[in-house]
């Protein structure tokens, strides 16, 4: 269970108003299963963070952010959460907490795709 944070809503509103000019976004993975709350400002326990590629599909009223981890990057992680950030050490736009966990043993890669759909 998760969702967009209070800060994330503010950043989205600023972007729509044209006052937020960076595409420097990151997805972080973490090991905490602490429940999501709209006031979250960080993951419960961050393991690693990678920069994203953004596919701007604004014609379809959505944006997809994609980040990849190699086996070396993610080895030893017991992933229970992830979130999108505006930059390293900056504002968390959303946080997702998984019902279970994924254990990375040095053999598996990881790709996270986070899609934001703008609907009325």
Q: Is 17 helix (H, G, I), strand (E, B) or coil?
A: coil
Flag whether the pTM goes above 0.85. no
> 71-85 pLDDT, tens per residue?
999 999 999 999 988
Q: Mean per-residue pLDDT for 59-64? A: 70
Closest CA to 70 of 107, 101, 43, 102: 107
Q: What is the pLDDT of residue 57?
A: 60
pLDDT band at 89 (very low <50, low <70, confident <90, very high): low
The pair of structure tokens assigned to 15 is 């972007």
The pair of structure tokens assigned to 77 is 């992680």
Q: Does 48 score more than 60 pLDDT?
A: yes
Domain locations in the chain?
2-49+74-109
What residues contact 103, with CB distance under 8 A and at least 6 apart?
77, 78, 79
Calpha distance 120→26 (Å, rounded):
26
């Amino acid at each position: 269970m998760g969702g967009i944070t209070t800060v994330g809503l503010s950043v989205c509103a600023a972007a729509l108003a044209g006052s937020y000019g960076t595409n420097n976004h990151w997805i972080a993975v973490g090991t905490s299963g602490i429940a999501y709350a709209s006031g979250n400002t960080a993951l419960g326990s961050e393991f690693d963070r990678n920069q994203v590629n953004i596919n701007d599909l604004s014609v379809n009223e959505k944006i997809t952010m994609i980040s990849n981890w190699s086996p070396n990057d993610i080895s030893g992680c017991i992933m229970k959460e992830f979130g999108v950030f505006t930059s390293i050490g900056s504002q968390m736009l959303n946080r997702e907490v998984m019902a279970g966990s994924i254990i990375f043993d040095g053999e598996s890669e990881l790709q996270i795709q986070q899609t934001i759909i703008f609907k009325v």
